[in-house]
Chain A
Amino acid sequence: MKHVDIAMHVRGESRFVDDEPAPEGLLHAAVFTSPVSHGKIRSLDVRRTRDMAGVHGVFTAADIPGENQIGNIIQDEPLLAEDYVHFIGQPVALVVAETPEIARAAAQSIDIDIEELPAIFDAREAFAKGELIAPPRTFSLGDTHAAWKKCEHIIEGRVDSGGQEHVYLETQASLAVPEEDRGIKLLSATQSLSMVQKIVARILALPMHKVEVDTLRLGGAFGGKEDQATAWAGLAALAAFKLDRPVKLVLRRDEDMRMTGKRHPYSSDFKIGLAKDGAILAWEAQIFQNAGAAADLSTAILERTLFHVTNSYFIPNVKVTAASCRTNLPPNTAFRGFGGPQAMFLIESAIFKAAAEMGLDPAVIQQKNLLDEGDQFPYGMRAKNCHARPCWDGVEKKYDVKKRRTEIEQFNREHEWRKKGLAMMPICFGISFTSTFLNQASALVHIYQDGTVSVSTAAVEMGQGVKTKIAGIAARVFSIDPQRVRVESSNTRRVANMSPTAASSGADMNGHATRLACEDILARLKQRAAKHFDIDDPQAIDIRDETVFLRDEKTDLHWDELITLTYMDRKSLSAQAHYATPKIYFDKSKEKGEPFAYHVFGAAAVEATVDCLRGAYEIDSVKLVHDVGESLNPHVDRGQIEGGVVQGLGWMTIEELMHSDNGKLLTDSLTTYKVPDIYSAPDIKVHFLQDSKNPPGPFYSKAIGEPPFMYGIGAYFAILRAMKAFRKDVRLEFHSPMTPEKVLLAIYDG
C-alpha cells in the first residue's frame, strides 16, 4: 500500500497551512524579538508602530487577557517577554498588518531599551553557577565503586555533541480565525494539538471547548513542532482574538532558525572500565545538557538520555548523572531521538577511546557487550525479545563485513591520501513516552452509507506515513480496499486530549485505538450479517475482501449491502475507542521501572572515505539490519530508515550551529547551515530482521520513526577510523559534528 498522500504530493496539491485559501479579511503577523541574550527591559514603546499605515495592531505582554505562560512541563516561558529577555530571538511583540511585508517592516520601528545582563551559553558554566532547569538525576545499576578494582583498563574522557536545526521544509505556521461566541479556530502546524488548545485557552482565558485546533499535515517536523509550534499558534490566536479578524503567522526561514530551539548540545565526562577481554564492567558519566532559556521538553529529553546511556550493551555497573542546564539560547527541544542520540554518541565515543588504548577494533568491544535476552538495563527493565545480536550478526553476514575490512585495509595500503574507515553502529531504542500518562490515544471511526470509512486520530501526518499505516489498519480490520478509508486531519473537536505525535509512537498507539474502534463496529456488522443469514452466532461471520463469509463459505453479501443493512437496522456505524499502552510504569523516586512497551534493535556498518589532503570526506555506505517486527508498511518503514540515517549523518558531519560571542545565531540560513543534499546521501542498504514478531505492536509491528537516526552516529567513527589509517597517532577528540575543518586540523595537528 502506497503513502496515502503521495499522488497529491507529486502534483503539488497537498495543502499546508500557508496554502489554505485566505479567509476574508485575513491579516498577517510578524514577530519582534529580543536583540540581546539577557537583559531587563527598561522600556518598550510601540506607539509609533501602531500608527503606521497598514498596521492593524501591535501586541505586547500587557495585551494578553489570560496568563502569559506557554510552558508545559515546567511553567517558565512567557508567550511575550515581560520584564526580562532571556535569549536573542525571544518574542517581545507581535505586529499585525495588511501584508507580511508591512508587518515585518513595521516591527523594525519598535523602540526597546534593554539593560544588558551577563549571559551564559555553555552548559558546564550554567551548571557551575547553579542554573539548573531541575535537580540532576542519576540512574544506577550494580556498584561502580567496587567494579573499578576489577577493571584491567579504565579510560576517562570528555564528549561533546553539537545541536541540530530541524530544517523542516515547511516553517512554523499558524492561522487563527475568530469564531462566534468569542471562540477561536486554529490551523496550526503542530505535532501537539491538545497542547496548543490548552495553552491558547490559557493565554486568552477561554475554556478549552472554545478553542478548536486542526492540523491537516506538516511539511516535516522531526520534533521541532512538538512544543515549539505552540508559541506561534498562541500569537496568531491572541491577535485574531483582539482584532476579531483572521490572522496568519508564518515564520520566514531565518526567523524560524533564530527564534526556535534545536537539538540539545551536550557535554559529558565519562569513565569506562573494561576487563582484558573487552567486557565492559563499569560505566560512569556526568552529563550536562544545554537546555536553553526555558524548560520546554528538556527534562523529558534528559530522562531519555539516561534511558539510553548504555545503548545496545549490557553493563553490570552503571552510574550516570545528568543535569539540564539553563543558558541564554532559545529553549532547546525535541528532535528525532529525543536525547537518545546524545547518549549513544557518548557511550560509543567511550568505547572507541577504550579500543584505541587497548589496541582493539572498537567492534570487538561492541560485539562482546551486546545485550542478551534477560539482561538488565540501568533502569531496572530487562531486555525481552532481544534482537541486538541477530541484527549485529545479520550485518556481518549479509554485507560480508569481514571481507570489507580486508578490502579497506588493501585500499588504505594502496592510497596515500585517501583513506577508508568502517564503523559498526548497533542501536537499541525504547518505545513509549517515558512520561507514562502520555501513552494513550483515541480514534473516532465512521462508516458512511456508501461503505467508505473516515478515521480521526491524534496522529499528525508529517511525512512519516502514519496516515498510511492507520488507513492500512482500518482496511485490514474491515478487510476492505484501503481506498475506501480516509484518514482525516487531526482535530480537537473529533479527538480530545491528544498526546503529541512523537516518541515514534504515533502509529502504535493511534493504530491500536483505530483497531479497537474498527473492531467495535465490525462486531456490530457481524451481528447484522448473522441476523441476515438467520444464525445466532456472529463468530461464524467473517469479512474477506469486502465479501461476507459464513463459516468460511463465501456468500453473496457484499460490504456495501452489509453497510446498508446495518444502517437500515438503526445500528451505529460509528465508534470511538481509547487505547492505553498496558503494563508500563516508572517510579522516579527509585529511577526504576518498565517504562517501555518494547525496544527496537538494529545494527549498521558505516563506511567513509577521507581525502586526507583536503580534509574532505564522503560517507560511502550505510548497510543495516533493522528490527521492524512485522512491518505494517514496508515502503513507509524503509523510507523512515533511509531518511533517519541521512539526518543522523548530517548531525554527525556537516550540520554545525555557530553563535557569536554574544549568543547570536550565525548559521541562520540554509546558506550557512548545511543539511545533507542529494550528493551527501550515501548508498543505503536496508534489510529487515526476519522472523521478528512484536506482540505489543499493532499486528506485531514495531515503531519506526526515531531509532534509524542513530545509525548515523557510525559516520563519526568511520571517519575517525579513516583518519587513524592516515595518521596512527591522530588526536582523538569526541566533539561532533566532524566537519572537514575538524578533520584537517586533527590530522595535521602539531
Chain B
Amino acid sequence: MAGSKAIEFILNDKTVSETLPPGMVVLDYLRRHRRMTGTKEGCREGDCGACMVLLGRIEEGRLRYRAVNSCLLPLAELDGRHLVTIEGLNGDSLNPIQQAFFDENASQCGFCTPGMIVSLTGFYLNSDTFTSQQAVAALDGNICRCTGYTSIKRAAGLLAKQADNNLAESDVPRRIQLLVEQKILPSWFLTIFDRLSELQKPLEKERSTTSLLVAGGTDLFVQKPEALLDADFQLLTRDKNLAEIKVEGDLCRIGAAVTVEQLQSSPLVNDMLPDLRDDLRLVSSTPIRSRATVGGNIVNASPIGDLTIWFLALDAAVALNDGVNRRIVALKDFFLDYKKLDKKDDELLEWVQFAIFQKGSRFNFEKVSKRTHLDIASVNSAMLLRRDGDVIVDAGISAGGVAPIPLTLSKTVDFLRGEKLSAQTVKKAAHIAQSEISPISDVRGSAQYKRLLLRQLIFAHFDVLFREYSKEALL
C-alpha cells in the first residue's frame, strides 16, 4: 500500500487526511505527528494497554467501536474510520469514568491510567451487561504496576453500579446517545455516523502476489514493525468475504479474517460450544481478541496457537486459494515443521471449516500458562469426544507446546476409538500421548514440565466432561 492515496479518517472530532507510511503504527502517529501524548508507550507489543485507543467503523450499517492497542494498529487501518484517543474523551470536567477513578484513587503514577479510561469507554460502548465483572473484564489488556488493581476494581464496581440499565438494551445509535447524555462521550460522537458515511470509501486493491498479507497484525507488528513500516502490504480485515461465519450443509465455515471476538459472540458457534466464551477468555485480551484473526492464528504456525489447537481437535480443514485454484487441506496436515506450512507464497488461507457436532459430542479446551490471562500457554490441548453409552465412538485430541508444530494426537485418538470410558482408558490414553510428543525446554517451561502437564490436561479433559474419575483412580 506504500505510495497509495491519502488515508482519510476522523481523529476524535476532526476529519484528517494523512500521507504518512500506512505501516506506521498509530501510537507513533499520535505521539510524534499529532503531539497527542495522552496515549502512552509501555511495551509496543500489545501486552500493557498504555496505548489503548478506540477504533470506530460502520459495520452492517451500524457504528461499532472497539478498544485496540495502538502500538499494533497500522495507520492503514484508519482509512474511513474513527480514531478516538484520551484527548477526545476529555471534556471540561471529568467524565464519569474519570470521576470514578478520581473518587476511588485508582491512579498512582498515572502512566497506565489513560489507557484504562479508554478501555472502560469501550466497555460502555460494547458490553451487553453492566456488572463489575464485565467492567473488570474490559481491563484484561491493561497492566498497572502501582495500584495492585484494587482501587481500579473499586472504580469498575462503582461504574457498573452507576450504569444506566437502559444501556444494555440499547442498540448502537441509542446507546451512543445515552452515553452522550451521561457525558461519558462528548456530543460530537452523535455526528460521527454521518461523517463516516460521507468519507470516501477506501479503495479495495486487487490482491497482488507481491504484497504482504496482514490480518489483525497482532503478532506481525510485534515481530517485525520495522519491515512493515514501508512494506507493500494488504489488509485482509478489509475483505468482507473473509470475515464470515456460515453453515454449508453439515459444515461450519469460518473466514480467515474472522476475529476471536467475532467467534466469541457468534450464536452459531456458541450453540455448539457452550463453554466457548470462557475458553476464549483465556486467549489474549479484549483488545487483542478484537483484532486477532482465525486465519492469522493458523498461518502464524505457532506450535502453541490457541485457536489452532482448538480447530485441530475439531478435525478442521483449511481452504487455500492462489487466485486461480482453491485446494482444501486437512489442518493436521497443514503444519509441516516448525513454522513451516503446506502453503505456497501466493496462496491465501480463505477459511477454516469443520463438521458440525453430532449428537453425543462433547468438547473441552484446556490451557495452562504462567499467568492465567493474557499469556501464552505452556501447554494447551483440546478434545472432542463422541460417545454412545460408555463407548467412545470418535475423538479428536490436539496438543500445543509439545512439538515443533501444533499437534494432533493421532495414536491417542486411534486408541480411544471403540474403548470403553474408564479411568483405565484415560490413563492409557495419557500414556500413549506421551509417545507422540517431543517438547523442548523454553521460557514457557521445561520439557519435563510440559510432558507432565499434557498428561494432566488429558486427565482434565475427562474430568471436566465426565467428572467420574477420582484422584486415586488416575494417579
A666 & B443 in contact (Cβ 8 Å cutoff): yes
How far apart are A262's CB and chain B's nearest CB, in angstroms? 14
Assuming A12-B114, A639-B105, A684-B150, is B471 touching A675 (CB within 8 A)?
A: no
User: What residues of A have a CB within 8 angstroms of the CB of B42 in the complex?
Assistant: 169-171, 253, 670
A252 within 8 A of B: yes
Assuming A220-B111, A642-B150, A744-B449, is B47 touching A680 (CB within 8 A)?
A: no
Contact of A10 among B113, B368, B442 (CB under 8 A): B113
B143 & A675 in contact (Cβ 8 Å cutoff): yes
Q: Across the two chains, which residue of chain B brings its CB closest to A668?
A: B443
B108 & A464 in contact (Cβ 8 Å cutoff): yes
Given the complex of chains A and B, what is the CA–CA distance between A645 and B452 in angstroms? 31
Contact of A615 among B111, B113, B368, B373 (CB under 8 A): B368
Given the complex of chains A and B, what is the CA–CA distance between A416 and B463 in angstroms? 11
Assuming A3-B108, A8-B110, A744-B456, is B149 touching A678 (CB within 8 A)?
A: yes
B374 & A462 in contact (Cβ 8 Å cutoff): no
User: What residues of A have a CB within 8 angstroms of the CB of B344 in the complex?
Assistant: none
Given the complex of chains A and B, what is the CA–CA distance between A465 and B142 in angstroms? 21
B102 & A614 in contact (Cβ 8 Å cutoff): no
Q: Across the two chains, which residue of chain B brings its CB closest to A11?
A: B90
How far apart are B221's CB and chain A's nearest CB, in angstroms? 13
A21 within 8 A of B: yes
Contact of A12 among B113, B139, B372, B373 (CB under 8 A): B113
B153 & A748 in contact (Cβ 8 Å cutoff): no
B275 within 8 A of A: no
B200 within 8 A of A: no
A126 within 8 A of B: no
B107 & A3 in contact (Cβ 8 Å cutoff): yes
How far apart are A28's CB and chain B's nearest CB, in angstroms? 10
Assuming A11-B38, A647-B148, is B105 touching A2 (CB within 8 A)?
A: yes
A462 & B109 in contact (Cβ 8 Å cutoff): yes
A43 within 8 A of B: no
A18 within 8 A of B: yes
B86 & A677 in contact (Cβ 8 Å cutoff): no
A390 within 8 A of B: no
A6 & B366 in contact (Cβ 8 Å cutoff): no
A416 & B107 in contact (Cβ 8 Å cutoff): no
Give residues 394-420 of A contacting B (CB, 8 Å). Answer: 416-417
Given the complex of chains A and B, what is the CA–CA distance between A636 and B108 in angstroms? 9
Give residues 647-699 of A contacting B (CB, 8 Å). Answer: 647, 654, 656, 658, 666-667, 669-672, 674-681, 684
Contact of B453 among A615, A638, A671 (CB under 8 A): A615
Contact with B along A9-25 (1 / 0, CB 8 A): 11111111011010000
A253 & B370 in contact (Cβ 8 Å cutoff): no
B371 within 8 A of A: yes
A10 & B117 in contact (Cβ 8 Å cutoff): yes
Contact with B along A154-180 (1 / 0, CB 8 A): 000000000000111111000000000
User: What residues of A have a CB within 8 angstroms of the CB of B111 in the complex?
Assistant: 16, 169-170, 219-220, 463
B110 & A5 in contact (Cβ 8 Å cutoff): yes
User: What residues of A have a CB within 8 angstroms of the CB of B147 in the complex?
Assistant: 639, 642-643, 646
B460 & A10 in contact (Cβ 8 Å cutoff): no
B470 within 8 A of A: yes
Q: How many A-B residue pairs have CB under 8 A?
A: 232
Give residues 427-444 of B contacting A (CB, 8 Å). Answer: 442-443
A7 within 8 A of B: yes
Contact with B along A77-105 (1 / 0, CB 8 A): 00000000000000000000000010001
Contact of A6 among B97, B101, B443 (CB under 8 A): B101
Q: Across the two chains, which residue of chain A brings its CB closest to B151?
A: A639
User: What residues of A have a CB within 8 angstroms of the CB of B378 in the complex?
Assistant: 740-741
B148 & A217 in contact (Cβ 8 Å cutoff): no
**B50, B151, B370 pick with most chain A CB within 10 angstroms:** B370
A613 within 8 A of B: yes
A616 within 8 A of B: yes
Given the complex of chains A and B, what is the CA–CA distance between A170 and B108 in angstroms? 13
Contact with A along B68-87 (1 / 0, CB 8 A): 00000000000000000111
Contact of A674 among B39, B114, B371, B463 (CB under 8 A): B371
User: What residues of A have a CB within 8 angstroms of the CB of B90 in the complex?
Assistant: 11-13
Assuming A12-B113, A639-B151, is B371 touching A614 (CB within 8 A)?
A: no
Contact with A along B358-372 (1 / 0, CB 8 A): 000000001011111
Contact of A680 among B35, B38, B117, B371 (CB under 8 A): B371
How far apart are A706's CB and chain B's nearest CB, in angstroms? 14
A217 & B109 in contact (Cβ 8 Å cutoff): yes
A744 & B452 in contact (Cβ 8 Å cutoff): yes
User: What residues of A have a CB within 8 angstroms of the CB of B244 in the complex?
Assistant: none
B40 & A417 in contact (Cβ 8 Å cutoff): no
B94 & A10 in contact (Cβ 8 Å cutoff): yes
Q: Across the two chains, which residue of chain B brings its CB closest to A222?
A: B145
User: What residues of B have a CB within 8 angstroms of the CB of A134 in the complex?
Assistant: none
B187 within 8 A of A: no
User: What residues of B have a CB within 8 angstroms of the CB of A677 in the complex?
Assistant: 140, 143, 149, 371, 373-374
B50 & A169 in contact (Cβ 8 Å cutoff): yes
How far apart are B381's CB and chain A's nearest CB, in angstroms? 11
Given the complex of chains A and B, what is the CA–CA distance between A217 and B39 in angstroms? 17
User: What residues of B have a CB within 8 angstroms of the CB of A220 in the complex?
Assistant: 108-109, 111, 145-146
10 residue pairs A–B, Cβ–Cβ below 8 Å = A11-B98, A12-B117, A18-B31, A105-B226, A169-B143, A222-B145, A463-B111, A646-B150, A670-B47, A741-B453
4 closest A-B pairs by beta carbon, nearest first, are A12-B38, A463-B109, A9-B110, A219-B111
| Besides A646-B148, A684-B150, 14 other A-B contacts (C-beta < 8 A) | A8-B110, A11-B38, A167-B145, A170-B109, A217-B110, A220-B108, A416-B470, A417-B471, A642-B147, A670-B43, A678-B152, A680-B371, A681-B148, A739-B370
Residues of B whose CB lies within 8 Å of any CB of A are: 31, 35, 37-45, 47-48, 50, 85-87, 90, 94, 97-98, 101-102, 105, 107-114, 117, 136, 139-140, 142-153, 222, 226, 229, 366, 368-376, 378, 442-443, 445-446, 448-449, 452-453, 456-457, 459-460, 463, 470-471, 475
